[in-house]
Amino acid sequence: MRKTIIFLLIIFVMVASIGVVYAVDRDPYTWVPTSGQVSAWDSSAYPNSVFLFMDFSWSSLQRLQGLRADNNETLEMDLVVYNYDNNAYIYNWLNYSSSTPPGTLWDSNQPRAYWDTQAFDDSNERSFTVGSADANLFEPNTFYYWWGYAQKNKNTNSWVKISAQRGYRSPSWVYSTWSVFSEQGVVVIPFSQHKTIPGTVNWTY
């Protein structure tokens, strides 16, 4: 009996430490940033490279409430590039040399920022983002940003989509791309608006 109780306690501690997972969608106006912009330009910093920059902010604390319901919230603001014609302007993060493999040329002021892998992305919609693994720490009226370098691909321009993805960390104490799981997604700008890069795309939500 004592062994059974100890085993159940161990299981309880393990489950509790993973973190709470919320399956119910939240009102997008309580977590999607109020406004932002994304830019993509050919760069001379590295051969065949494209510099990506995104910034965004929330206009009030009320617009952030959906990210403060628990302490393992994550957020990704994605630049998604159209590749249904197999001719995207950019397709992968920059892999310039052994010293600059994908995931090394980026920066962000987001809370516990992490570079997001493209390992499981749809080949028709190529996503580029640097996410936040501690999204409950975002503050209103503050400009947050991420930047990185992509590899220039085939076309001279492409349609883009801007999307917001709310997620959670599991286990909750691990702050990396491999511990982040998607929970809810919102398309801020769809492909149907025919916004293109290179260039700058502004958006509000």
User: From its phi and psi, is residue 141 left (phi > 0), alpha (psi between -120 and 50) or beta?
Assistant: left
Number of domains in the chain: 1
Per-residue pLDDT at 171 = 65
- Residue 61: per-residue pLDDT: 96
pLDDT at residue 99, as a whole number: 78
Q: Which two tokens stand for residue 143?
A: 């400009």
Torsions phi, psi for 118 (to 5 deg): -105, 15
pLDDT at 10: 38
Residue 123, CB half-sphere, CA atoms under 13 Å: how many? 3
The DSSP string of 14-26 is HHHHH-----S--
DSSP secondary structure letter of residue 134: -
What is the domain extent for residue 170?
Answer: 2-204
How far is it, in rounded angstroms, from Cα 70 to Cα 19? 9
Contact by Cβ (8 Å): 132, 113? yes
pLDDT at residue 17, rounded to an integer? 41
pLDDT (0 to 100) of residue 124: 97
pTM of the complete model: 0.84
Residues 6+ apart with CB under 8 A from 146: 53, 54, 77, 106, 107, 108, 110, 113, 129, 130
Average pLDDT across each block of 10 residues of the chain; the chain has 205 residues. List them in order.
41 41 73 98 94 98 92 94 96 86 90 89 94 95 97 93 90 68 91 97 97
Output phi, psi for 184, to 5 deg: -155, 135
pLDDT for the residue 36: 98
